[in-house]
Structure 1
């Protein structure tokens, strides 16, 4: 079996519009974290109602071009959740252990299927993100790629412990980036989430594998 290795390349800007076959829609959504450094959360689904099938009276004729569309919002939308009763909050606050992912990001995405082209869907985007997409500061809030997770699982299946898998992963990442930068002798550059995989990621994959064998 060929070992799956992470493909570490810089993130690229999201196009203004993306058109793909309907049967590839879910696969394209899954590529966004690895390719564009954005995670989209599914929102509401809206389906067009054919005027001929409506039972209630129609006040005015309305032309609908789409068959349906689905909305999505950035995984950093919304506000930080406050847990526990507010009355328990005292003047002596506990220091924040981890930065909140929720910062009210207004960015949204819509996937539309038009009546004239039912076999394809169109991705469109509205509003700008209020955080620096594709930067090192934003990486800790992105998931590790499927290729990196599979790399970890295959190494664990070979019998390596978590520390050894972490060492091999760090070595692979270091050599991969060094090879790409060898022409101009640039120092190693952090360009992708997979370059900063912490030991918890390796352990989580180990734990999941153990749970599936029980």
Structure 2
């Protein structure tokens, strides 16, 4: 989304004779490496409020946040407009062709679980990864989830009144690694571990969320 928006900015300014993107030609924008796009996202992009997001989808861009001056090296610089910084994360909350967004995916996943587990799941959500560290992300996601729960789509199907996010004991982008390290240090690795020889023999990765797979693992462990 950032690349698309920057490309749009360049084309609009070229047609208008503007200079907001100085000393950078169109090919430079198209060829920006993913590492630069990621750095622009981390340094300058943020998640806006739900109300502002609705206004952005309608094309209302005022008041616009300050622009970001990002140097590519030497005298080359990109001036990232405020609307690009604010709107690039909206892709997570926009519905796709299947009428699904990030909040929809979370609630739909809870709906697929047994009814007696849904309340506990909604109150024990763990957000991991670098994207969730974007300024405003957690507040916006909470806002979206609560709004969706009040909508006709979920109100009568998902009797949940509270949604809670855990605060992991590590940075959000390291939480999965921490969980894996703790898990790997326990005896459970004997049941859940998959050696290279076993994989080559089975030609599949066991689905440990499946009861049949767990029973098979326990059987093998007791035999060994």
TM-score category by the smaller chain?
under 0.3
The normalised TM-score by structure 2 is 0.23
Write 1 or 2 for the structure with the bigger share of strand.
1
More relative contact order, 1 or 2 (CA 8 Å, 6+ apart): 1
